[in-house]
Structure 1
């Protein structure tokens, strides 16, 4: 009695096999069983290469030395179906979340395993991301894809950014990564998709380093913007700029930029200029001022060595002071009497002191600002109380030495400020 052929074991001609593969709507692999436990990739569709570029490029290597449990399961499924002939359907999280159907085909006494794949939503992964926060599934999926394809770095024209989407510290000194960009993955010696779901402990990142980073971002966290911005000087005169955006209560997007300190010899003056916003919100303006203090420290020609009188203007008067003695106490050196406002020390890099002048005709505020590492450079800002919160750049006036349009455009052209603006857009 003849054995009835199963649905999965179909004898066809080579032309018919190729036709069936090309007709398939899903990404497809055709894998030939060369010998016991040894397989060769005979065909890969264009869609499969787009869906899983790293797996298809390193298919042979991934078989010999699987880089993850998911890839090992993929090859076990190939072996099982090739041996038993029983069709199997499995879900994997490889470079993308995919659903794969494995079918055995026998052609001229040669065994093949055809794998048809579809991309699926990463629901299980996304459910771990979100904890009833404001983010939606499609936003998180978009972020993962954007990070792994390095969309942020390409948009900025910067290939040195280290970008990650990660959890909060769920165990002391341990964080889980959900997505990283190619530059971050390269440091670990892996492809971006291999980092998904891995922890800092698995990459041998010391727990004290994770704890310190967690402490810093929480200290600089602004609950209004759901962001944290800070810079740390590390060895070799290098500054690490870190921007972190809280996507949901337990999910954070972090972008890190390393910038080397000043060179021993002066740099040539750059003619490149960045864009200037018409309006800066309060936290944006303070971020610009921090960067300006860094810039001015490299070129003190913009600063004033004496306390200046306030011009007769309804605009915002702002200048940089670099005198032989601190600006405060200034008494009435600028032509007005001021009453100090009590304020607690600032949490970020920028320190601020507020003073008010009130008469029937005049209502003004003076701010004296500096950053801890450059206490000798101080920004002195005067504004009438009709200007509060936002700063309109066309209402800014400076000194003969300080053209605000020119200085701001120099700052906005710097990599660290581009990074800051990117987080604003995100």
Structure 2
């Protein structure tokens, strides 16, 4: 008997509406918070007893939420095994973004704030549809990696540039994301949204404070005045707000999935988006009368915008060779470091005097007496003077009269 679960976004909404943190829900299910996060993001699916426990918890939360008049989420029912993997994130149209996200009844202030945020987001939903559903990755790992890289690398380079305004940092972040994807390829290949897996790594790598070092931190503005103004306005936002705007308006994720990718609650992501829109409207006054232009301009840049300096991504073949070489180099470096540590340890053991120190002397009746121990070899100074002719001082002999 197999249980059909609601969509990943609805599972997250049910938990948030009930006022449960991810850690609390994971404790009730007997799993780790990381496992529950993967279930809520559609990265993996529960099985066996975990599936039964998760379906039971969602059913309980659905009944509680229905009594409170909250989101109408499909209730998990007993059904035949699902034929396909849950749809990836990008398949949800933006029109579903302003879902009512009510906080638990015990926190009316938070519920009021969330309702206000959702009401403000409702008239500003993006009009353009999100990207098409990611296609499966065919063939052996090398072919699948090349397919994913050719399909996603150009767009990810533009996304990383909008997050940083640094072309070289953006290119390094894209290569780092695909390098980590190759190192964890079985997990990426099984993911229902491989491009989303790489995108999360690229965004985190681009926003890392260490990426600006090494001479790669110079900012550059696009040649087009409109794109330069948009990139400058985005750069003045805090990094978390910048990322939420890019995912929601540019990539086309809905609000719950945007919150899941940035590791924030749905109300928190909604408030970040509202504050970011206010700041962008102040910097770009034309958005006041046409707020939908923000999504239009972002998606136009992600589709065909030109990154300053034209730092084109590597070809799929070159990128695959690069990630393989990086993996071998890291393995070789790790083996070298381990060998040096082993050699230094052996040298220290070989050159260290293993003779234990003599025990301390003890005082007996005011006289220091050496502690018992192994006899020391006699030295010339310790030997008694030899007796015999020709040794020692001469004797005084009385003279005869």
TM-score, length basis structure 1: 0.20
TM-score, length basis structure 2: 0.21
Q: Which has the higher helix share?
A: 2
Larger radius of gyration: 2
